[in-house]
Amino acid sequence: MNILKICTLGLLLCASTAWAQVGDQKVKTTHEVQMGETLYSISRQYSITVEELRQANPNIGDTLLAGSVVIIPISQGTQPVAVTDDQMLDGPSMVKESIPCKTMYQVGKKETLFSIARQFHVTEEDLRRANPQIDGDNIKKGEYLCIPYTTMERYEMQLESEAYAASQREREAAEARAAQEAAEAARKAKQLERIKVAVILPFNLDSSKKSKEAVKMYDFYEGFLLSVDEMKRKGVSVDVYAYEEPSLLSNGMDALLNSPMLSHMNLIVGPMRVENITAVANFAAKHNIPLAVPFSTKASLTASVPVCYQINTNASRFYKEIFQQFIERHRQHNVLILSTGDRGEKSDYLSSLKLSLDENGISYKTVGLDDLAKLSELMTPGERTVIMPVSNLQNTFEKMIGKLEQNKEIDTSVIELFGFPEWQTFSDKNKGYMSKYHASFFCTFYTDPYSTQVQDFNRLFHNWFKRDQMATYPQYGLLGYDTGKFFLSGLHEYGLTFPENASSVRVAALQNPMQFEQVGNGNGFINTYFRIVNY
């Protein structure tokens, strides 16, 4: 089926004309009458006569109603005349070669173009243009002429068209406003008047002396409270309920999960112990409560628990993406993989690294520590050399640096190191070497101690709790703050629809940015954020 659209400006109407093809023979089709169209103007569109049109439509009169349908007898080789935009005149419903008729007029005895033009208040030029079949001034009695619209009528039609377009725009704008208001009303209907959060952590409340583990939990909880305070200063109501996480030997988890308030929470944070996470996750899934797990990197944590959000994801999940970024940066460089065979060497890291390099056509050499003492023999003149140890131990790093330092003749500006998240925990002396040899490493969290925002947070933490965070990696106070800021912001924005929108939440973080993605239907979410830090 071929479709040809013939559009006019008159009242923003557009007629669709269709015809069917059977072999090379066209058959009858139909045409929907538009405002101002006549038998004559329609016959001209299809290159047929008015008589042929009348024969195909025996019940048709001289006046056609807009919206009515007439049968078009199309002979072989005939097709409608398409009107393109560049054929449009300034006036509405006007085209250069085909002007819609206001009416059809039968020429009377002794009538001329001049007299007919005066009778209908149009110019002879318009009359000729509407009737190109006229030869000179010769018109015959009984001949039908197309009478075009007058200049004033065209002007009025233009105004009508513009008014119609304006009303359409106004209607569309009103519909858009209504849709926006409806969406906002739906969002508000699902908003939470108060966000209720349960934090389940081993605070070691029964002990007079806090263990290092308990101090970390306090740091996390107090950082979380600072995010709560920030939300409250923005007008968001948040209630926090802290629960002591039962020890593995106490069998107290059932009693905790039977707490009357817990099933009414909008968010559960914790627990820390992997053995307790399953029980809390099942409870959260039963009551459809988002569960934020800050510490465990267990790979199967989110399996079959769609409400679970794993914040601290094992970096091995992202090796492919990490190595792709590495390859984009070092595609033209000399790559050396340093294998030492020590207990810090990561076999999964090494196998994934080699696979990515091979798939991208990147050549590399596997070397040992002693080879680095003669680095010049492994280097290519004019190329940068990138050394990638596959062990994350500080001792291995220091041995590597010791060998590199033996190469007194080498310009260190053409050497780079690429390593592990653990490198951010190294001593200041080793960080100096990282700077000297232009080190970079991947990580899922990172704290810039010189950041103004981090320094402000540390001062606020000290002022509130009269102590500093424990010096750990990650810093648990910052982790608690980032966790609270992300989930409280998401719950405030999306309310009960937070699970459907968790992947869209973006919040600036101080240490632990979060970009959650669901790991398959029926499973929970993992934090897919990682970055490469350059020294």
For residue 276, what pLDDT is reported? 94
For 1-98, the fitting CATH number among 3.30.720.200, 3.10.350.10, 2.60.40.10, 3.40.50.720 is: 3.10.350.10
Domain boundaries, the chain: 1-98, 195-313+480-508, 317-443
pLDDT of residue 93: 36
Cα dihedral angle (103, 108, 110, 114), rounded to 10 degrees?
Answer: -10
CB under 8 A, 24+ apart: contacts of 202-208: 202/244, 202/245, 202/247, 202/271, 202/272, 202/273, 203/242, 203/244, 203/245, 205/244
d(CA 278, CA 415): 47
pLDDT of residue 252: 87
Q: Same fold for the domain at 1-98 and the one at 317-443?
A: no
**What pLDDT is recorded for position 75?**
53
Distance CA 214, CA 199 (A): 14
Write out the two tokens for 68: 């009515």
Q: What is the pLDDT of residue 215?
A: 96
Secondary structure in 3-state letters for 241-272: EEEECCCCCCCCHHHHHCCCCHHHCCEEECCC
Residue whose tokens read 């008015």: 50
At 77 the pLDDT is: 41
Q: For residue 12, what pLDDT is reported?
A: 27
* Residue 189 burial by Cβ neighbours in a 10 Å radius (0-12, 13-18, 19+): exposed
Q: At residue 168, what is the residue type?
A: Q
Q: Which residues contact 488 (CB under 8 A, 6 or more apart)?
A: 195, 197, 227, 228, 231, 236, 238, 267
Mean pLDDT, the chain, as a whole number?
86
Taking alpha carbons only, the member of 147, 142, 143, 119 closest to residue 38 is 147
What's the residue count for the chain?
535
| Contact (CB, 8 A) for 291 and 284 | yes
Three-state DSSP class for residue 70: strand
The predicted pLDDT at position 76 comes to 43
CATH hierarchy code of domain 195-313+480-508: 3.40.50.2300
pLDDT digits (tens, 9 = 90+) for 318-354: 999 999 999 999 999 999 999 999 999 999 999 999 9
233 within 8 A of 166, measured Cβ to Cβ: no
Look up residue 75 and give its DSSP letter: P
pLDDT at 150: 85
pTM over 0.95: no
Residue 345 DSSP class = B
In whole angstroms, what is the distance from residue 161 CA to residue 113 CA?
A: 30
Bond prior to 73 in cis (omega within 30° of 0): no
Question: What pLDDT, on a 0 to 100 scale, did the predictor assign at position 86?
Answer: 37
Reference 294, options 212, 219, 204, 226; nearest CA is: 219
3-class state of residue 18 by DSSP: strand
The first and second tokens of residue 138, run together, are 């010769």
DSSP assignment letter at 46: T
CATH 3.50.50.60 fits 317-443, yes or no: no
Give Dmax (Cα) for the chain: 122
Question: In the prediction, which pLDDT does 187 show?
Answer: 63
Q: What angle do CA 448, 451, 453 make, to 5 degrees?
A: 120
Q: How far apart are CA 386 and CA 355, in angstroms?
A: 17
Place of tokens 């559960």: 268
pLDDT value, residue 28: 63
Q: pLDDT under 70 in the chain at which residues?
A: 1-28, 74-100, 185-190, 249-250
pLDDT digits (tens, 9 = 90+) for 375-396: 999 999 989 999 999 999 999 9
